[in-house]
Every structure is written in C-alpha cells, then in structure tokens.
Structure 1
C-alpha cells in the first residue's frame, strides 16, 4: 500500500510592514526595484510570489498578493 503525501511548506505569515507594502502597491504606488532596495522592502514578498517585477522594472502585486491582503483584512 502506497501512501502519498504532498509537502506543505510553512505557511507565509506576513508582518505588518509586509501587509502595508502590499496595500501600497495595490493602491498604485509602484516603486522600482532600486527604490525598494533603498526602502528595505521585504524580499520575502518577492520570493513568495506576492509581488513581481512588472513593466519598466516596477514592482506590482500579484493575484496571490491580492488574495493575501483580502485574507488578512478583518
């Protein structure tokens, strides 16, 4: 008998600052990668796929990032 299990990585638990960053990006603030580095923006958002580099090198919220914002709102 074969038991298959699917690896479930640790849940992404965003910090308050990361949620604020996602909300700012969703409202139209689109910093470049260089500006994000200067502001010490969390690289975890990019690594987790919640933000991406869009046209002209600006950061944008992905659909997964929007879903994370909605899930965190009371």
Structure 2
C-alpha cells in the first residue's frame, strides 16, 4: 500500500528562524534535523521546518505542574 503523507501546515521556517523561536543557537535545530527528531522539508539544498512541526515539538516537551493537595488537620 502506498503511504500518504500529510503536507506541513503553516509557514516554513528557516533554521535561523526556528532557533530564534526556540531561543537557542542555530546548532540545536540543526541537531534536531540531523537526529530526525523534528519534521523538516528539503527544498533543493535548503532545509525548512514547518511552523506546525515546531509547535508540536514544543508541546511535546510541555511538563504540567504538580497539584499538591493539602491535608486537613485532625
């Protein structure tokens, strides 16, 4: 069976734009691409990261705060 791919939605960001959005150096998004930890698009020799893929990557690292319960005094 042929595998269908879903085209990325939103803007295509350069590595520099992705790094700026992540507040990191250019090396971090390049490493994510090299390790295939994020979706990317190759256009000729240029690499672009879909804005939706960057949003998904950020959301995947989201850690919810713990909700502490208080005990009632006896």
TM-score normalised per structure 1: 0.30
TM-score normalised per structure 2: 0.30
Q: Which has the higher helix share?
A: 1
